[in-house]
């Protein structure tokens, strides 16, 4: 057998047949020694937009305006993704300490980490035409199409401030469909875009619809949804949802 065919057959064995229900159920069983690991024992990876303020950019490991996956540490210029679900949260930074940890954050939009009720907190309200100092974040559990059959862990994509328009675009694409459709019916392209602000250039995230998903992709994403919805999403307390440009903090 030619070497190329041997390699292809070897790779095929590592991919689960998404049309085989028994294979999918078998795949979901814990591996020996991992039976006690639950959702609270892992942290979902993130896609980060690198800005001039990012450590990787300051260390000259990457240019600003690129995307980094927190688990694989792969840095790319753009990526295709399939949204699975969305949840909202809040975060507030100190504008005088842009690289410091958040002053307050809320994973449920109800209660902040400082114990304050979000609905009663002045930082969550508009004041004299100025937006709240505590920002709403649109968090999406997403999946990369080429991981179908190989991985069931989603990645978190967080959109806020100048990138909130991308979130509104994703939300609108499903909210007014008849009949209603889930997020995972479409593949999107995520691409950073530079924008000039009074205090200098910064990058925001832009999304463009690429195509409709295949039956195989929809089945895989639905399985991920059923295994994540209603379960606790653990976020690293010292890890911001994305790297914040100067223009977004002032």
- For residue range 14-59, list pLDDT tens digits in order: 455 555 566 666 766 778 888 787 767 777 888 989 988 888 888 8
Which pLDDT does position 182 carry in this prediction? 93
Is residue 190 in some structural domain? yes
Task: State pTM to two decimals.
Answer: 0.79
Is residue 109 in some structural domain? no
Split into its structural domains, the chain has a count of 1
Which pLDDT does position 96 carry in this prediction? 72
Query: What average pLDDT does the chain have?
Result: 80
Domain that holds residue 243: 42-88+141-249
Which pLDDT does position 98 carry in this prediction? 62
The 10s digit of each residue's pLDDT in 195-230 is 887 777 888 999 999 999 999 999 889 888 887 765
Is residue 184 in some structural domain? yes
d(CA 38, CA 175): 32
Choose the weakest-confidence range: 38-52, 94-108, 121-135.
94-108
Percent of the chain scoring above 90 in pLDDT: 25
Percent of the chain scoring above 70 in pLDDT: 78
Which pLDDT does position 10 carry in this prediction? 43
Is residue 117 in some structural domain? no
The 10s digit of each residue's pLDDT in 156-200 is 999 988 888 999 999 999 988 888 899 999 999 999 998 887 777
pLDDT at 234 over 80: no
Which pLDDT does position 12 carry in this prediction? 42
Which pLDDT does position 142 carry in this prediction? 93
Q: What is the 3-state secondary structure (H, E, C) of 95-152?
A: CCCCCCCCCEEECCCCECCCCCECCCCHHHCCECCECCCCEEEEEEEEECHHHCCCCC
Which pLDDT does position 99 carry in this prediction? 64
Is residue 124 in some structural domain? no
pLDDT at 144 over 50: yes
d(CA 189, CA 169): 12
| C-alpha Rg value of the chain to the nearest Å | 20
Is residue 226 in some structural domain? yes
Which pLDDT does position 68 carry in this prediction? 92
Is residue 199 in some structural domain? yes
pLDDT at 248 over 70: no
Is residue 14 in some structural domain? no
């Amino acid at each position: 057998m030619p070497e190329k065919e041997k390699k292809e057959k070897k790779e095929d064995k590592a991919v689960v047949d998404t049309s085989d229900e028994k294979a999918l159920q078998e795949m979901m069983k814990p591996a020996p020694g991992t039976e006690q690991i639950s959702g609270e024992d892992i942290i979902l990876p993130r896609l980060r937009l690198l800005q001039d303020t990012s450590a990787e950019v300051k260390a000259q490991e990457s240019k600003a305006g690129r995307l980094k996956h927190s688990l694989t540490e792969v840095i790319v210029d753009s990526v295709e993704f399939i949204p699975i679900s969305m949840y909202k949260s809040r975060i507030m930074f100190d504008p005088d300490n842009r690289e410091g940890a958040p002053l307050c954050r809320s994973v449920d939009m109800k209660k902040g980490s400082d114990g304050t009720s979000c609905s009663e907190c002045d930082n969550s309200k508009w004041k004299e035409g100025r937006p709240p100092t505590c920002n709403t974040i649109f968090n999406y559990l997403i999946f990369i199409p080429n991981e179908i059959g190989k991985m069931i862990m989603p990645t978190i994509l967080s959109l806020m401030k100048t990138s909130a328009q991308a979130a509104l675009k994703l939300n609108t694409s499903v909210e007014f469909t008849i009949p209603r459709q889930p997020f995972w019916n479409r593949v999107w392209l995520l691409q950073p875009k530079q924008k000039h602000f009074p205090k200098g250039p910064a990058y925001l995230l832009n999304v463009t619809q690429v195509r409709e998903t295949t039956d195989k992709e929809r089945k895989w994403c639905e399985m991920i949804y059923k295994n994540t919805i209603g379960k606790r999403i653990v976020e690293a307390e010292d890890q911001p949802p994305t790297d914040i440009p100067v223009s977004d903090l002032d």
